[in-house]
Structure 1
């Protein structure tokens, strides 16, 4: 893995170059399985924060943020999205991949709907069972810059769940 070359800017959203360089060096070492200190985890990537230089140049924040999001796929300890399946005769919902910088669905809305959906599919008591029509028309609030669920994964799961109820 090559170290990225971020654009430098004097004004606008930018991060301290020294902090970013040090963190990126750790990311690259973790991916290449070289020991230069503690390995970077997915949580480290998601919670990374860098100072904004008061005066002087810094790396473009959007480029650094995009790199950190992409780097999650390269880490050896990255949690895999759990596919939907069956446990002890009950269908299970997948664990959706969280996204931060690209558009995602509001997790609390998705979780609430999926809980009702899974209760319906598994024949458990639920105040308002989910219908095929509701699956086809459900709309979740899109979120950006805060953590959300991967849109494509949620939509694909809803297509699968619609088949379960049909």
Structure 2
């Protein structure tokens, strides 16, 4: 496995390069089954926190967050598919469950709220029984709680799915 080549920025949201590099080295060692200390777990990735350089360069937060989300699949015990309550809501020939990117240290949507709503959307469009079918108008009005410093779904990914789902129901 190759070490990621994060870009470097001097301004904006960025993480300390030394702290990120240390965790990345441990992730790669764990994925390759090389012992260089304690193995990294999925929980370690989800709870990772890095300092922000006061002055000087750092790695862009969005690049590091995306790498950490992808790295969950490489670790023992990592998810095989996106961990979503809506994952089993497809039927043969039906609309598939979306795969949302997760974010940790920037604003995202609360995963439980999104999962519940997506499950209702997929049940509605796939013709499955649902206690409250979703309408296009409800999709336009839906608002999810924002989260920071805890895992949430990438806002843009969810909004793109909602636009697509609204088109399905229009």
Provide TM-score, normalisation by structure 1. Answer: 0.63
Whether the 8 Å contact between 2:109 and 2:154 is mirrored in structure 1 is: yes
Whether the 8 Å contact between 1:41 and 1:77 is mirrored in structure 2 is: no
Deviation, structure 1 residue 159 = 1.1
Structure with larger Rg: 1
User: Which position in structure 2 is the counterpart of 1:71?
Assistant: 67
In structure 2, stretches of 5+ residues that fail to align are 9-15
In structure 1, stretches of 5+ residues that fail to align are 6-14, 51-58
User: Which position in structure 2 is the counterpart of 1:149?
Assistant: 153
User: Which position in structure 1 is the counterpart of 2:110?
Assistant: 106
CA distance in 1: counterparts of 2:92 and 2:141, whole angstroms: 30
Whether the 8 Å contact between 2:7 and 2:60 is mirrored in structure 1 is: no
Name the structure where strand makes up a greater proportion of residues.
1
Aligned-residue CA RMSD (Å): 4.2
Give the alignment partner of residue 130 of structure 2, picking from 126, 130, 134. 126
The total of aligned residue pairs comes to 148
CA distance in 1: counterparts of 2:95 and 2:6, whole angstroms: 43
Provide TM-score, normalisation by structure 2. Answer: 0.61
Query: 2:95 aligns to what SS in structure 1?
Result: strand
Query: 1:91 aligns to what SS in structure 2?
Result: coil
Whether the 8 Å contact between 2:108 and 2:148 is mirrored in structure 1 is: yes
Deviation, structure 1 residue 97 = 1.6
CA distance in 1: counterparts of 2:7 and 2:160, whole angstroms: 32
Give the alignment partner of residue 140 of structure 1, picking from 138, 144, 148. 144
